[in-house]
Amino acid sequence: MGTKTHIYQAPETLFRQCARRILELAASTLQTQDYFHIALAGGTTPRALYQQLSRLHSEEFPHWDRVRFYFGDERNVPPDHQQSNYRMVRESLFQPLQIKDSAIQRIRGELSPEEAVSHYRQALEQLPQENGTARFDLVLLGIGADGHIASLFPNTPLLQEQQQGIGASYVDKLECWRYSLTLPVLNNARHIIMLVSGAKKADVVRHVFHGPGTAEPLPVQMLDHDKVEWYLDADAARFLDEECEA
């Protein structure tokens, strides 16, 4: 598959090594660009990663003022809601590192789908563009057990969006609206890191790496595999043949 895979025995090691890789990409990008543009993942897994990143502040990466933070997706909730991805990142990364609000472009989950999408469309226009599409230096993603990425869920119209970089999707099984970057933007990124932890993800990881190929590819399988670096712990990777790195 030509996919770069990093597997670590312990989740703590996974998060630390993934944090180091993010900072390595940021440092190399900043040698030729003024800013490093990252789209952050939501959910529960990345909280520990963000906490690791905030601990690597001074000694390993003194350039946080040159990072511009975006979000891969958001729930239709206010920014202080328990379910808000922005709230999770604010608590685990932005506050510890004292990131300025001007460096953060959150998806306005408190707004209606039309308003939230319109606002974020303008935010994406401020990014460097490539192929007429916003170009992130790095997109960080998690994966759902159903193979969803960001808020691109199987069998939803937003998965097929090829023009707009951001969209809204009513997710029946969650009975809520979700806002998400679309595949054209995700696949336009220079790098994609997929962060996966825990035994609950082992089946979907096996499906991605070893099939069976389903008639409809899972959302995660619609990513540009050459750009994806997989960071997994041993529980999530238990059906893979690749060796653990530590």
- Pick 150 or 193: Cβ nearer ligand 6PG: 150
Count of CB atoms situated within 10 Å of the CB of 75: 22
Instruction: For residues 50 and 58, give the distance between their C-alpha atoms in angstroms, rounded to a whole number.
Output: 15
Residue 65 CB, nearest approach to ligand 6PG (Å): 26
Looking at this protein, which amino acid is placed at residue 90? R
Q: Please say whether the beta carbons of 50 and 92 come within 8 A.
A: yes
Name which position in 38, 150, 186, 228 contacts ligand 6PG (CB under 6 A): 150
* Dihedral sign of CA atoms 221, 223, 229, 231 in order: negative
The 3-state DSSP class for residue 6 equals: strand
Q: Please say whether the beta carbons of 246 and 14 come within 8 A.
A: no
Residue 46 CB, nearest approach to ligand 6PG (Å): 7
Could you say which DSSP state residue 92 is in? I
Residues 62-101 within binding reach of ligand 6PG (CB under 6 A): 72-73, 85
Residue 96 CB, nearest approach to ligand 6PG (Å): 20
42 binds ligand 6PG, rule: CB under 6 A: yes
Residue 72 CB, nearest approach to ligand 6PG (Å): 6
Which of 206, 207, 196 lies closest to 229, judged by CA? 196
167 binds ligand 6PG, rule: CB under 6 A: no
Residue 186 CB, nearest approach to ligand 6PG (Å): 11
Residue 134 CB, nearest approach to ligand 6PG (Å): 18
146 binds ligand 6PG, rule: CB under 6 A: no
For ligand 6PG (CB under 6 A), the number of binding residues is: 15
126 binds ligand 6PG, rule: CB under 6 A: no
Of 105-113, 119-127, 142-150, 214-222, the segment contacting ligand 6PG by CB under 6 A is 142-150
Instruction: For residues 15 and 45, give the distance between their C-alpha atoms in angstroms, rounded to a whole number.
Output: 9
DSSP secondary structure string, 108-174? -TTS-HHHHHHHHHHHHHTS-EETTEE--SEEEE---TTS-BTTB-TT-GGGG--S-SEEEEEEGGG
For residues 187-208, one letter each, b for 16 or more C-beta atoms within 10 angstroms of the residue's C-beta and e for the rest, the string is: bbbebbbbbbbeeebbebbebb
235 binds ligand 6PG, rule: CB under 6 A: no
Of 22-30, 40-48, 50-58, 120-128, the segment contacting ligand 6PG by CB under 6 A is 40-48
Residue number closest to ligand 6PG, CB atom: 142
Of 5-13, 61-69, 120-128, 140-148, the segment contacting ligand 6PG by CB under 6 A is 140-148
Which of 225, 222, 178, 233 lies closest to 42, judged by CA? 178
214 binds ligand 6PG, rule: CB under 6 A: no
Where does this chain bind ligand 6PG (CB under 6 A)?
Answer: 41-45, 72-73, 85, 142-144, 148-151
